[in-house]
Amino acid sequence: MNARYGWTVAGVVAVLIAAVALAVSAVRDGGHVIPTGAPTLAAPSTAAPTTLPAPSDRASDGGGLRIVEHGFTQLSITATLTLTPGYGPGRPEPYTPVHSAFIVENTSRDQVALSPTIVVRYLDRAGKAIVEYAAETADKRLTAEVLRPGQRVGIVDYFNISGRKVARVEVRAVGAVWLDPADPRASGSTITADGVSLIRTGVPEASIVAFTAHSAYPATVSAVANAVYRDRAGKILGGSHNSYLYRQYFPPGDARGSITVTDWLPADLDPARTEVFFSQVLG
């Protein structure tokens, strides 16, 4: 055989062998032959973005956070057990803490407010802002967890100062992260309270605010219960939270709960107007 033709036949055979090997190493997918090792397209992701939108003062429908009402009471007491130089037994330190409470509403009809935030400033009679003990600024930021469309929440604050008189309180809503209710990042349900009653134990500085909690969460959650106090005219006097931010556990549905108050109760408190709200809800 002519060497030139022999080489041509060998080349054809090599090509045929390679084609057969490629066919054998292929896999069939949906009627289409795809060679083994060929790149495939990943299925489109349906997971929600993990990065939250930037906080804003307005929801997409024009709603926002509204300060419905607020109030405070300043105490005037003395302390002999103090680390402040110059004070102690025989020379008690004047102590003038402030108990305050704020009712905040989500006015959006369509969006959930995540981490709704307000800024509070305590002012003296001259209008000068007072800086809290150990704080770096007079602006005190207070935050709740989740406010669903139309929902209100009570935020309680304790302002720790000595010897300064608070004449008024300024409060403004800073904003929130606004999400659609169906967004997985807006997870969280509601827990509310009613049937609130005050139980006086007979022991000074120890009373109990009892309530019935209604949890729409599908599983047991823990939360801090906060009491908002009003007088007979409905004016907010301030609030108290559980000592040391004590957490309670609430199963789905109805459950009894209580706040042990050891710090303060207003003298003109109307127990029938006391409200309970929840913060720091954890699943």
Residue 191: both structure tokens together: 């827990």
Helix (H, G, I), strand (E, B) or coil at 245: helix
Which neighbouring-strand residues pair with 156? 101
Backbone torsions φ then ψ of 44, nearest 5 degrees: -60, 140
Element counts in the chain: helices (H) and strands (E): 1, 18
Contact between residue 139 and residue 172 where contact means Cβ atoms under 8 Å apart: no
Q: Which CATH code, of 3.30.450, 2.60.40, 3.30.465, 1.10.150, is assigned to 53-188?
A: 2.60.40
Q: Which helix (H) or strand (E) holds 5?
A: helix 3-24
Which of 123, 121, 7, 104 has the alpha carbon at shortest distance from 63?
104
**Positive/negative CA dihedral, 265, 268, 274, 277:** negative
Fold matches, 53-188 and 189-283: yes
**Domain ranges for the chain:** 3-34, 53-188, 189-283
CATH of domain 189-283: 2.60.40
Q: What is the pLDDT of residue 52?
A: 87
pTM above 0.85, yes or no: no
- Predicted confidence at residue 81, as pLDDT, reads 82
Contact between residue 125 and residue 165 where contact means Cβ atoms under 8 Å apart: yes
Mean pLDDT by 10 residues, the chain (283 residues): 42 42 42 41 53 93 97 90 85 90 97 95 96 91 92 93 92 95 80 94 84 94 94 96 79 95 88 93 83
What is the Rg, in whole angstroms, of the alpha carbon atoms belonging to the chain? 32
Distance, CA of 140 to CA of 102 (rounded, Å)? 13
